Amino acid sequence: MIKTIISIGLWAIFGWICASWLGSNAGWGLFAFGLSCMILVSGWQLSRIQAWIKNINDPPPPSIGPWDDILAPIYRQLRKNQQEITALNRHVDGIMLAAEALPDGAITLDESMLLTWCNQTASEHIGLDLHVDRNHSIFNILRAPEFARYARQNSWPVPLLMHLNKDGQEKALLVQLTRYGLGQFLVVTRDVTQVEKLETTRKDFVANVSHELRTPLTVLSGFLETLHDMPEGSLSGEQRQRYQAMMLEQAQRMQAIVADLLTLSTLESSPNAEGEPVRMSALIHTALQQGRVLSGDQHVFVENVADDLCVNGIETELASAVSNLLTNAIRYTPKDGTITVSWYITESGQACYSVQDTGIGIASQDIPRLTERFYRVDRGRSRATGGTGLGLAITKHVAMRHNAELTIHSRFGAGSLFSLIFPPSRVSQTD
């Protein structure tokens, strides 16, 4: 403003000087010319300012006279605001990224329980699509009646366990609702399917172990009670011997179950088996010798065993896997059946131990469950032949610890082929 007044004053002085020399008309003319120049310059400056406003993020144009003093502080404030907005955006982005990275699902709802935002995990848990479902009621999205009941409570001290069916798969979700801000809601979802499965497996396992041990224990205590209640000398030597043999059989059964359970727990708790090169042919020949005794010459054995192949691993574990597959073949193959034991290297460098039998075979629906603990196709037959129902579970663990694969091919009534396939990295050949 002062600059403008000074400029007008200067033009007035020039006009007055000019008037004193060339007369008043010339003086007024010069003054008018000066004012016109000032108006033109102002107009030009305004048009530059107008052009700058379109790109307000750039610095204001230089030398724009009196506007310099106005635009410089505006621009400084603008820059400051912009920096604050950028910092704020970065902060919000960081929070959003953190929310996206949460292992739990997070959903925000407004006061009317309409969806405002959700992270990727929540989308996967509930099958949400933020673009489609935004501003839709959570009750239309999560249509389970138990959720509606839960959400309508006044407070949510404990989460709700829900079972959803997504793409044909049952999913267990823990859903926790909380109030935040000015009446908005936060829904946190956690996938507990695996936890629930583990818990079921643990419960089943305890029930199975108890069941498996209860039968021999009942038989054993029954015999002991009978012996205890009988008057002295009322039992012949032969009867006593028979009772003792039966009790011994039950005790051995329990011993076998406990031994297998201990083996399984050792396998589960120890790290992957590195070990030393183990000459598998020696283990296979020992297992075959014991197998022949178990068979009592009732089966035909065919051997096809490479002598020089070694597997890097733990000898006792490998011996147990080799013998488990062979004993099973003997136990589940009727008299005169053929059992073929092979140990060879494949073209791709894998080493394969396989036991093929012409036995009772296994129906296709049972095959995937054979390596579950205590799973037996025919409980009676397994027990009658001294099985614990844990042999294949142990074999599978041994395989996993040696990076090997246990494959099962079988047809009901037409025999089975069990193979342990070791990767080339575990295989070596001796001279």
Site residues for ligand ADP per CB under 6 A: 324, 328-329, 332, 357, 359-360, 362, 370, 375-378, 382, 387-393, 416
Q: Which residues pair with 345 in a beta bridge?
A: 351
277 in helix, strand or coil? strand
CB of 393 to ligand ADP, least distance (A): 6
CB of 294 to ligand ADP, least distance (A): 13
**Toward ligand ADP, which CB reaches closer, 312 or 354?**
354
Torsion of CA 263, 266, 267, 272, to 10 degrees: -150
**Toward ligand ADP, which CB reaches closer, 121 or 416?**
416
Count of other CB atoms within 10 angstroms of residue 361: 19
**Toward ligand ADP, which CB reaches closer, 250 or 324?**
324
What phi, psi does 119 have (nearest 5°)?
-90, 175
Pairing outcome for strands 416-422 and 405-410: antiparallel
CB of 253 to ligand ADP, least distance (A): 11
- The tokens of 88 are what? 């704020």
CB of 343 to ligand ADP, least distance (A): 17
**Largest separation between any pair of C-alpha atoms in the chain:** 163
CB of 326 to ligand ADP, least distance (A): 9
**Toward ligand ADP, which CB reaches closer, 125 or 373?**
373
**Toward ligand ADP, which CB reaches closer, 9 or 334?**
334
**Toward ligand ADP, which CB reaches closer, 122 or 329?**
329
| First CA to last CA distance, the chain | 104
**Toward ligand ADP, which CB reaches closer, 332 or 422?**
332
CB of 355 to ligand ADP, least distance (A): 7
CB of 366 to ligand ADP, least distance (A): 7
Q: How far is CA 14 from CA 7, 17, 22, 38, 386, in A?
A: 11, 5, 12, 14, 126
Q: Taking CA 317 as the corner, what is the angle to CA 313 and CA 320, rounded to the nearest 5 degrees?
A: 135
CB of 406 to ligand ADP, least distance (A): 11
CB of 339 to ligand ADP, least distance (A): 9
**Toward ligand ADP, which CB reaches closer, 150 or 332?**
332
HSE-up of residue 233 (Cα within 13 Å, Cβ side): 0
**Toward ligand ADP, which CB reaches closer, 142 or 406?**
406
User: How far is residue 376's CA from residue 367's CA, in Å, rounded to a whole number?
Assistant: 10
Count of other CB atoms within 10 angstroms of residue 63: 8
What phi, psi does 265 have (nearest 5°)?
-70, -35
User: How far is residue 322's CA from residue 282's CA, in Å, rounded to a whole number?
Assistant: 11
CB of 297 to ligand ADP, least distance (A): 19
**What is the spatial order of strands in the sheet that 169-180 belongs to?**
115-118, 105-109, 184-191, 169-180, 160-166
CB of 392 to ligand ADP, least distance (A): 3
Sign of CA dihedral 378, 380, 382, 387: positive
**Toward ligand ADP, which CB reaches closer, 49 or 256?**
256
**What is the spatial order of strands in the sheet that 338-345 belongs to?**
300-305, 338-345, 351-357, 416-422, 405-410
User: How far is residue 98's CA from residue 229's CA, in Å, rounded to a whole number?
Assistant: 73
User: How far is residue 233's CA from residue 239's CA, in Å, rounded to a whole number?
Assistant: 11
User: How far is residue 118's CA from residue 133's CA, in Å, rounded to a whole number?
Assistant: 10
**Toward ligand ADP, which CB reaches closer, 313 or 387?**
387
User: How far is residue 170's CA from residue 367's CA, in Å, rounded to a whole number?
Assistant: 23
